[in-house]
Structure 1
Amino acid sequence: MNKPELLVTPTSIHDILPLIEAGADALLVGEQRFGLRLAGEFSREDIKKTVEIAHEHGKKVYVAMNALFHNDKVPELPQYLQFLTSVGVDAVTFGDPAVLLAAREAAPNMKLHWSTETTGTNWYTCNYWGRKGAKRAVLAREINLDAILEIKENAEVEIEVQVHGMLNMFQSKRTLLGNYFLYQGKDMEIEKRTQENQLFLHDKERGTKYPIFEDENGTHIMSPNDMCVIDELRELIEAEVDSLKIDGILHRPEYILEVTKAYRQAIDVCCDDPDAYEDLKSELLEKIEELQPENRPLDTGFFFKETVY
C-alpha cells in the first residue's frame, strides 16, 4: 500500500524543521500577494530557506499562487515563477489560468497543482486541467468521501484532499469589515491572522463563532469547526489518494505540530497494519480533541453528510 504524502502549512520559517521532524512530507507556503488563506506569511528569502531545509531532509516545498488576480498583478507572475524555479520550489498551486499561461513561458518545468477550493468536484474537471498542464488537482472541501474515491479512481492527475483544519466559507475581494467601520466613522486596524486579536461573527441562535479576517485578498469567513478525519483515513489510503493536507490557518504552531505528529502516526500504522490502525484510531482522535481550543469543536466536514453552517 502506497503511503500518501502528508502536506502541512507552517506559520513561519521557524516551523519548518520541527514539522519535518514531526513527519511532514511536504510544506505549503507563500505570501498573500500571490496566495490565499495561508497559515503564515513567507517572504522570498523565507521561501528560499524553506526549500534549503526541506530538500536537505528529502521533503518537498509547494508555493501558493492561488489568489484571484487582477490586471495589475498579472505582469508580476512570470518574475515570481522564475524566482521560485531558481530556488528549487517543487510545485506551485494555482486556480487562475493566468498562472498556467505565465508558467508555460517563464517556468515551463515547474510542476503545477490546480486548486480553486470550490470547483474541484468531478474527475472530468480534474482531467481537463491535467491536460492543460496540471500534475495535481486539489479537491473541493464540499464533496463527500464517495465522490472523492470516484474522482481518484478516474483521475489522470494526482489528487490532494484536506483532512484537517478550517474550511473557508466565504471570500470577497472587498474589505467588507473595513468599509463597514469606515462608514460608521470608526477606524479599524486590520490584523492579518493574529491569534491574540481575532474577529468573529457570532451566531447566537446556534451558539457558534465564525472566524473572520481581512488581508490583501479581501475578506475571509471561516468555518466554526475544524474538520478532522484522523479516524477515517483507511479508505483514502487504500484508494491511494496522493496527498493529505493539514491546514493550519488561524492555529498556533504548537497545535499544528502536534496534529502533524498524530496524522503521521495514523498514516504509518494504517499503511503497515490496517487492523492495528482500527484499534488505534479512537485514541488518536481523543488526542486531537484534547488539543482543540474550547471554541473549535471537531467535525468531519462534508465527508459523510452535508455540513450546515
Structure 2
Amino acid sequence: MKKPELLVTPSSIEDIKPLIDAGADAFVIGEQKFGLRLAGEFTRDDVKQTISLAHNEDKKVYVAMNAIFHNDKIEEARDYIGFLKEVQVDGIIFGDPAILMLAREVAPKLKLHWNTETTATNWYTCNYWGRKGAKRAVLAREINMDAVLEMKEHAEVEIEVQIHGMTAMFQSKRSLLGNYFEYQGKALEIENRKLEKNMLLHDKERHNKYPIFEDENGTHIMSPNDICMIDELQELIEKGIDSFKIDGVLKSAEYIIAVTKLYRNGIDLCVNDPDEYEDVKDELLGEIEKIQPDNRPLDTGFFFKETVY
C-alpha cells in the first residue's frame, strides 16, 4: 500500500525543523501577495532557508501562488517564479491560468499543483488542467468521500485532499457578507473588530462563530468547525490518495506540531499494520480532542454528508 505524503502549512521558519521531526513530508509556504490564506508569511530569504532545511531531510517545499492576479502583479509574479526556479522549489500551487503560462515561460520544468479551492469537483476538470501542465489537483473541500475516491480512480494527476483544519467559506476584498446580512436586517456581530486579530463573525441564531482571516488578498470567512479525519484514513489510503494536507491557518505552532505527530502515527499504522490502526484510531482522535480549542468543534467536513453550495 502506497504511503501518502503528509503535507503541512507552517506559520514560520522556526516551525520547519520541529515539523520535520514530527513527521511532515512536505510544506506549503509563501507570501501573501501571491498566495491565499497562508498560515504564515515567508519572505524570499525564509523560502530559501526553508527549502535548504527541507531538502537536507529529503522533504519537499511547495510555494503558494494561488491568488487571483490582476495586471499590476503579473511582472512581480514572473520575477517570483524565476526566484523559485533558482532556489529549486519542489512545486508551485496555482489557480489562475496566468501563473501556469508564466511558469511555462520562466520555469517550464517546475511542478505545478492546480488549486482553486472550490472548482476541483470532477475528474474531467482535474485532467483538463493536467493536460495543460499541472501534475497535481487539490480537491474541493465540499465533495464527499465517494466523489473523492471516484476522482482518484479516473484522475491522470496526483490528488491532494485536506484531512485536518478549517476551510474557507467566503472571500472578498469588500465586506460583502456583512452587507448582505445588513440588507436582510440580520446584521451579525463582529467580535474583536477593533483588535484586527482573532476576529469572529458571530451568528447567534445558529450559535456559530466564523473566524475572519484577513490578508493582502482581502477578507476570508472561515468554517466554524475543523475537519478531522484521523480515524477515517483507511479508505483514502487504500485508494491511493497522493497527499494529505493539514491546514494550520489560525492555529498555534504547538498545535500543528502535535497534530502532525498524531497523523504521522495514524498514517504509518494504517499502511504498515491496518489492524492495529483500527484498534487505536479512536485513541488518536481522543488525543486530538484533548488539544482542540473549545470553540472549534471537530467534524469530518463534507466527507460523509451531502454537499450544499
The offset of 1:178, in angstroms, is 11
The offset of 1:307, in angstroms, is 6.8
Q: Does the Cα contact within 8 Å between 1:228 and 1:299 map onto a contact in 2? A: yes
Identity of aligned residues (%): 71
Cα deviations across residues 220-254 of structure 1 (Å, max 9, x unaligned)?
00000000010000000000100000000000000
Q: Does the Cα contact within 8 Å between 1:144 and 1:305 map onto a contact in 2? A: yes
SS at match of 2:42: coil
Partners of 1:55 and 1:210 in 2: CA distance: 37
1:209 matched residue in structure 2: 209
2:190 matched residue in structure 1: none
SS at match of 2:137: strand
2:231 matched residue in structure 1: 231
Q: Does the Cα contact within 8 Å between 1:255 and 1:291 map onto a contact in 2? A: yes
1:84 matched residue in structure 2: 84
1:138 matched residue in structure 2: 138
2:274 matched residue in structure 1: 274
Structure 1: segments with no counterpart, 5+ residues: 180-187, 192-196
What residue identity is the alignment partner of 2:268?
D
Q: Does the Cα contact within 8 Å between 1:177 and 1:219 map onto a contact in 2? A: no
Cα deviations across residues 261-289 of structure 1 (Å, max 9, x unaligned)?
00000000000011111101000000000
1:284 matched residue in structure 2: 284
Q: Does the Cα contact within 8 Å between 2:172 and 2:219 map onto a contact in 1? A: yes
The offset of 1:176, in angstroms, is 5.8
1:263 matched residue in structure 2: 263
* TM-score normalized by the length of structure 1: 0.93
1:110 matched residue in structure 2: 110
The offset of 1:214, in angstroms, is 2.0
Distance 1:236 1:4, change over 3 A: same
Distance 1:169 1:9, change over 3 A: same
1:13 matched residue in structure 2: 13
1:182 matched residue in structure 2: none
Does residue 149 (structure 1) correspond to residue 149 (structure 2)? The answer is yes
The offset of 1:210, in angstroms, is 0.3
* TM-score normalized by the length of structure 2: 0.93
Distance 1:206 1:157, change over 3 A: same
SS at match of 2:170: strand
Partners of 2:215 and 2:203 in 1: CA distance: 23
Q: Does the Cα contact within 8 Å between 2:201 and 2:210 map onto a contact in 1? A: yes
The offset of 1:190, in angstroms, is 7.7
Structure 2: segments with no counterpart, 5+ residues: 180-192
The offset of 1:49, in angstroms, is 0.3
1:173 matched residue in structure 2: 173
Q: Does the Cα contact within 8 Å between 1:230 and 1:281 map onto a contact in 2? A: yes
Partners of 1:307 and 1:156 in 2: CA distance: 24
The offset of 1:174, in angstroms, is 2.6
What residue identity is the alignment partner of 2:11?
T
What residue identity is the alignment partner of 1:137?
A
Partners of 2:106 and 2:198 in 1: CA distance: 39
2:185 matched residue in structure 1: none
Q: Does the Cα contact within 8 Å between 1:301 and 1:307 map onto a contact in 2? A: no
Q: Does the Cα contact within 8 Å between 1:78 and 1:107 map onto a contact in 2? A: no
What residue identity is the alignment partner of 1:234?
Q
Distance 1:293 1:34, change over 3 A: same
Q: Does the Cα contact within 8 Å between 1:25 and 1:60 map onto a contact in 2? A: yes
Q: Does the Cα contact within 8 Å between 1:17 and 1:53 map onto a contact in 2? A: yes
The offset of 1:213, in angstroms, is 2.5
What residue identity is the alignment partner of 1:127?
N
Q: Does the Cα contact within 8 Å between 1:127 and 1:156 map onto a contact in 2? A: yes
What residue identity is the alignment partner of 1:292?
Q
Cα deviations across residues 95-138 of structure 1 (Å, max 9, x unaligned)?
00000000000111110000000000000000000000000000
SS at match of 1:72: helix
Distance 1:190 1:151, change over 3 A: farther
Partners of 1:80 and 1:132 in 2: CA distance: 21
Cα deviations across residues 160-201 of structure 1 (Å, max 9, x unaligned)?
00000001000013366999xxxxxxxx7684xxxxx31101
Partners of 1:261 and 1:177 in 2: CA distance: 37
SS at match of 2:214: strand
> How many residue pairs are counted as aligned between the two chains?
297
1:99 matched residue in structure 2: 99
Q: Does the Cα contact within 8 Å between 2:61 and 2:91 map onto a contact in 1? A: yes
Distance 1:189 1:75, change over 3 A: farther
